């Protein structure tokens, strides 16, 4: 019961602030449909030949379930190119009706393929593996992750869209996530306080570095078509640079928590095995454990960023030629964001190791002296 209350109370406090956030919405209803027929034919309009593609769609949901809709694309360039439709695919469609002089005009838009079955299968495999390997701790870690996701989607995002400062919000969300996730994993005690202190220090340092270098390097954030659409359809003033910096802090959060828990556990176990050890020896041992942990975590963090930005790297590689200096390539906004993201995450971990070790040694020494 205490765990449930610990999870729900912060949400109940923050959620009313986030309610009523303005969002970009169109008067469109979305349904599932199955592609039953694809017909392609050559047509001519005003003396210009073009390829016409006709999709016959059987509605699988909605008030017109079972009905058939026809979508016609005149020219290859009008067919959505981000997904390849095949006969028998189940897809999402958007349907809206526009009033005109001739009556009601119905518009159908084709979207992504419905991968609900695949997503449910992935989730089931993950949950089973998490329970088999992690048992109770694995489930508790999943609860902590769920709480963080709730904070991001139901607090950070709505309040940001209402015009609140994203950097302040991401700091509050990160501290709240640390305060809930770590006790769920490690329980309550010195080890938990140690990990919370180290993770909080890492997040604060990550935030400081991201703000300082983000402003110094004139970071503009990543501008996408979706963000431009958001600007054109809402009156909210959103700072793209702050959004990019907030994303860097959230990216570093998991790694910082991971390192802090590892170091706090090492310090706690060291004092259990060697209760009479002096503080300097305990601190050095914790730092040594931290070095080994950092060696793997930094590599994991950098490779995760590189893998996530692989498509961007390929595009940048094709865009630039050999006559450009290396500094010009790395100064490109999209690459600069990824470089700074990697730097911020690594600095957060680097700082959290000595802070966690120092706090852990201090707490154990204070308790030993009190006893």
Distance CA 209, CA 207 (A): 6
Domain boundary among 113, 144, 170: 113
Residues 198, 292, single domain; the answer is yes
Burial class (CB in 10 A: 0-12, 13-18, 19+), 119: exposed
Residues 65, 153, single domain; the answer is no
Highest mean pLDDT among 165-174, 217-226, 286-295, 311-320: 165-174
CATH of the domain at 65: 2.40.50
pLDDT (0 to 100) of residue 222: 59
Q: Give a yes or no: residue 141 inside a domain.
A: yes
Residues 73, 156, single domain; the answer is no
Range from 76-85, 107-116, 121-130, 294-303 carrying the lowest mean pLDDT: 76-85
Residues 106, 143, single domain; the answer is no
Q: Give a yes or no: residue 357 inside a domain.
A: yes
Range from 10-24, 103-117, 356-370 carrying the lowest mean pLDDT: 10-24
Residues 145, 97, single domain; the answer is no
Q: What is the mean pLDDT of residues 13-42?
A: 70
Name residue, tokens 């995450």. Answer: 345
pLDDT (0 to 100) of residue 121: 94
List, edge to edge, every strand of the sheet that includes 68-74: 68-74, 48-59, 29-45, 90-100, 103-113
CATH of the domain at 146: 1.20.1640
- pLDDT bin (cut points 50, 70, 90) of residue 1 is very low
Asked whether the beta carbons of 177 and 148 are under 8 A apart, the reply is yes
Q: Give a yes or no: residue 15 inside a domain.
A: no
Q: What is the mean pLDDT of residues 1-16?
A: 49
pLDDT, tens only, 229-272: 666 666 667 777 888 888 888 888 888 888 888 888 888 888 77
Range from 55-59, 184-188, 233-237, 295-299 carrying the lowest mean pLDDT: 233-237
Choice between 76 and 144, residue whose per-residue pLDDT is larger: 144
Q: What is the mean pLDDT of residues 209-230?
A: 72
Choice between 32 and 74, residue whose per-residue pLDDT is larger: 32
Distance CA 208, CA 229 (A): 30
Q: Give a yes or no: residue 190 inside a domain.
A: yes
Residues 73, 152, single domain; the answer is no
Q: Give a yes or no: residue 120 inside a domain.
A: no
Q: What is the mean pLDDT of residues 282-297?
A: 80
pLDDT (0 to 100) of residue 211: 87
- pLDDT bin (cut points 50, 70, 90) of residue 34 is very high
pLDDT (0 to 100) of residue 200: 92
Residues 194, 313, single domain; the answer is yes
Q: Give a yes or no: residue 293 inside a domain.
A: yes
Which domain does 339 fall in, by range?
Answer: 135-370
- pLDDT bin (cut points 50, 70, 90) of residue 120 is very high
Domain boundary among 55, 82, 113: 113
Q: Give a yes or no: residue 1 inside a domain.
A: no
Tokens at residue 362, please? 């201090």
Domain count within the chain: 2
Asked if residue 277 has pLDDT above 70, the reply is: yes
Asked if residue 24 has pLDDT above 70, the reply is: no
Asked if residue 74 has pLDDT above 80, the reply is: no
Residues 6+ apart with CB under 8 A from 285: 266, 270
């Amino acid at each position: 019961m205490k765990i449930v209350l610990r999870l729900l109370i912060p949400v109940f406090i923050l959620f009313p602030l986030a309610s009523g956030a303005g969002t970009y919405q169109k008067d469109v209803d979305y349904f599932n449909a199955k592609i039953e027929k694809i017909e392609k034919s050559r047509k001519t309009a005003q003396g210009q030949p073009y390829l016409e593609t006709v999709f016959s769609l059987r509605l699988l949901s909605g008030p017109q379930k079972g009905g058939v809709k026809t979508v016609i694309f005149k020219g290859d360039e009008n067919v959505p190119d981000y997904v390849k439709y095949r006969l028998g695919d189940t897809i999402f469609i958007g349907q809206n009706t526009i009033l005109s002089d001739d009556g009601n005009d119905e518009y159908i838009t084709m979207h992504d393929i419905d991968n609900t079955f695949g997503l449910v299968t992935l989730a089931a495999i993950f949950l089973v593996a998490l329970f088999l390997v992690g048992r109770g701790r694995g489930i508790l870690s999943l609860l902590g992750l769920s709480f963080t996701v709730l904070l991001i989607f139901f607090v950070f995002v709505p309040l940001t869209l209402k015009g609140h400062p994203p950097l302040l919000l991401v700091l509050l969300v990160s501290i709240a996530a640390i305060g809930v996730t770590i006790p769920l994993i490690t329980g309550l005690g010195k080890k938990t306080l140690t990990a919370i202190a180290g993770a909080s220090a890492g997040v604060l340092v990550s935030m400081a570095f991201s703000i300082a270098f983000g402003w110094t390097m004139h970071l503009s954030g990543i501008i996408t078509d979706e963000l431009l659409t958001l600007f054109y359809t809402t009156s909210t003033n959103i700072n793209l640079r702050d959004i990019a910096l907030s994303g860097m802090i959230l990216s570093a959060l998991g790694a910082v928590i991971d390192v802090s828990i590892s170091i706090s556990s090492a310090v706690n176990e060291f004092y259990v095995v060697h209760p009479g050890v002096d503080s300097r020896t305990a601190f050095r041992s914790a730092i040594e454990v931290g070095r080994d942990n950092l060696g793997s975590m930094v590599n994991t963090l950098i490779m995760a960023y590189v893998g996530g930005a692989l498509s961007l790297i390929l595009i940048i590689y094709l865009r630039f030629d050999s006559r450009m200096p290396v500094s010009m390539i790395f100064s490109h906004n999209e690459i600069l964001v990824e470089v700074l993201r990697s730097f911020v995450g690594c600095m957060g971990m680097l700082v959290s190791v000595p802070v966690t070790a120092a706090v852990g040694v201090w707490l154990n020494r204070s308790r030993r002296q009190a006893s």
